[in-house]
Amino acid sequence: MRRFTRLTNAFSKKLANLRAALALHFAWYNFVRIHSTLSVTPAMEAAIAGHIWTLGELISR
């Protein structure tokens, strides 16, 4: 992620901002992104979610 490199505009100066960005990234990775080897999201594979979430669903929760 670009937040870990200091030379970008996305650098987090506050720890709370970094935590929020990481939480959003992990949620997107597990609930929204379809993985090529699984053909579903990791959350669906683990039976945590029943469908692929939209980005709107992720943001509203």
pLDDT per residue as tens digits for the range 8-51: 666 677 888 888 888 988 999 999 999 988 889 999 999 999 99
What pLDDT is attached to residue 5?
Answer: 59
Contacts of 15-18 with C-beta under 8 Å, sequence gap 24+, read none
Burial 24-40 (b: 16+ CB within 10 A, else e): eeeeeebbbeeeeeeee
d(CA 52, CA 61): 14
- Residue 49 belongs to what domain range? 2-60
Measure the CA–CA gap between 29 and 42, rounded to whole angstroms: 8
Domain count across the chain: 1
For the CA atoms of 2, 33, 23, 18, the dihedral, rounded to the nearest 10 degrees, stands at 10
Q: What is the pLDDT of residue 8?
A: 60
